[in-house]
Amino acid sequence: MPRYRGPDTAGRTDKMSKEEIRERFDREQASCYSQRDPAWLPELNYAFDLVPRLIEPFVRQGGEILDVGAGTGNLTRTVLRCIPGAHATLIDFSANMLAEAPNVLAAFPGRFRTQTADFMAYDYGRARFRAVISSFALHHCRGEDQYLDIYRRIGGSLSRPGVFACCDVVAGGTPALSSLNEESWIEFLRQREFSAEEAERILSNYHVEDSPLSVSAHLDLLRRAGFGVADVIWKKANFAVYAGLVG
């Protein structure tokens, strides 16, 4: 398995457009994304395992789960493994990433379906899902208005009671706190034997490709979108698991 390096965006300061992001994931070696313990993400397995624990009370009687920006199905794999009988719909606008999902989810035949769709335009429907999950995808939203719009769509798609659980990169509450978080990430990457140049490349791409918000901004937006409860479950450096509950 090749070591993850991410795109080379050195010297670039403007954010990638949605089309550039789709093309980047359509070019990506999708199998690189389905590693069980990717070297560049701190405590990923611990963070992912929190998601089925969060949603299990909502889906134990059955019902559909939606994975937004599902990629190759990494988070769905964790959920289907931990919740017998759960069924998931995976949406992503990269057909290349979704094409790897049947391999990643080969142990769960008949328990998932994939759909190529832009999560900013997808018809989420009303009260269709017991749980909506997402990992490392919503940070492609640009600005609070786009996040709020997605959170409203997700909230409307949930039956009551319902849950939204998200594992993603987050900013700090100030630029200085973001820098502190990012320094911790760089230290982690260096401990995992990424060279200084590789770590810098990953961080520089993060700045160009991702537009994370702070945890407190996410929780405010979730409440504004109609989630009665919004909370952070786990955070380390610039990574977090947060959730919103309805009904």
Ligand X SMILES: C[S@@+](CC[C@H](N)C(=O)[O-])C[C@H]1O[C@@H](n2cnc3c(N)ncnc32)[C@H](O)[C@@H]1O
Residue of minimal Cβ distance to ligand X: 71
Nearer to ligand X, 168 or 182 (CB): 168
CB of 247 to ligand X, least distance (A): 25
42 binds ligand X (CB under 6 A): no
Residue 100, amino acid: E
Sketch the per residue contact string, 160 through 199, with ligand X: x for CB under 6 A, - otherwise. Answer: ----------------------------------------
74 binds ligand X (CB under 6 A): yes
33 binds ligand X (CB under 6 A): yes
Q: How many residues make contact with ligand X (CB under 6 A)?
A: 21
Among positions 40, 93, 188, 194, the unique one binding ligand X when judged by CB under 6 A: 93
71 binds ligand X (CB under 6 A): yes
Residue ranges that bind ligand X, judged by CB under 6 A: 18, 21, 25, 33, 69-72, 74-75, 92-94, 97, 118-120, 135-137, 140
